[in-house]
């Protein structure tokens, strides 16, 4: 494909980040709010409408040179194929739409807690680590980390407002050029970049992108919904 799709907790699109670039002037994209409020498609189903599951197989440390097939399953805990396992972890997200941290949970790296989010529409992991060398700002991999050797990063994940670890995520970081990211590697699970390169609520916010989904089941429980196998009312992320 030519892009990544992010999956939202919201039952309807409450954002106004739409622009019309076909106006007569041709040089300026003007705000266009006519798409605001479009419903989340999955939430409109007559059944299996409380969330979605992304299930992707693991990929090798060297990356995958072929397409990786996974599943997008509708519903959570409504069918045998979308029910979390007994070992599934629930991460409650900030549910206050007026809060700057809306739809984030908490995570720690290096002992410091901050906000974070899981997003299949982001390619890799983006976080702050001043000890990791960044790739050349003028090269192909600008905006990524380029460590001299593999670095293991361990993240603690917790529900929003908590510092009690619910899930430990181990993530290796390599120089993307060594595995052919952008060229031969179509899917990777060990590339990362500094958090300031992402669109997030804060430069310190950790973005757990698509690369963290490989080898895991990631659940997105919609706002106000409950799902068998997950704890609490959405917005909640589940991982198993």
The 10s digit of each residue's pLDDT in 97-147 is 999 999 999 999 998 999 999 999 999 999 999 999 999 999 999 999 999
- Give the model's pLDDT for residue 24: 61
- Give the model's pLDDT for residue 28: 73
- Give the model's pLDDT for residue 199: 46
The fraction of the chain above a pLDDT of 90, given in percent, is: 78
DSSP E strands: which ranges in the chain? Answer: 19-20, 30-31, 51-55, 71-74, 89-92, 105-109, 112-118, 125-127, 151-158, 167-173, 192-194, 206-208, 217-221, 236-239
- Give the model's pLDDT for residue 13: 77
Ranges of residues in the chain with a pLDDT under 70 are 1-6, 15-17, 23-27, 196-203
- Give the model's pLDDT for residue 78: 98
């Amino acid at each position: 494909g030519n892009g990544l799709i992010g999956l939202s907790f919201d039952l309807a699109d409450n954002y106004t980040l739409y622009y019309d670039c076909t106006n007569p002037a041709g040089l300026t994209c003007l705000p266009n709010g006519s798409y605001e409020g479009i419903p989340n498609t999955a939430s409109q189903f007559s059944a299996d409408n409380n969330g979605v599951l992304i299930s992707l197989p693991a990929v090798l440390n060297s990356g995958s040179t072929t397409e990786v097939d996974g599943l997008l399953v509708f519903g959570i805990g409504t069918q045998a194929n979308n029910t979390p396992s007994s070992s599934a972890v629930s991460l409650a997200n900030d549910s206050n739409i007026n809060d700057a941290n809306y739809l984030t949970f908490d995570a720690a790296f290096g002992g410091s807690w901050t906000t974070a989010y899981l997003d299949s529409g982001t390619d890799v992991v983006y976080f702050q680590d001043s000890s990791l060398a960044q790739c050349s700002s003028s090269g192909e991999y600008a905006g990524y980390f380029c460590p001299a050797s593999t670095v293991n990063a361990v993240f603690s994940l917790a529900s929003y407002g908590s510092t009690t670890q619910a899930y430990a995520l181990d993530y290796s970081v390599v120089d993307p050029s060594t595995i052919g990211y952008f060229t031969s590697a179509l899917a990777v699970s060990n590339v990362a970049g500094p958090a300031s390169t992402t669109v997030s609520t804060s430069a310190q916010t950790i973005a757990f992108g698509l690369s963290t989904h490989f080898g895991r089941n990631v659940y997105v429980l919609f706002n106000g919904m409950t799902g068998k196998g997950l704890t609490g009312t959405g917005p909640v992320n589940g991982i198993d």
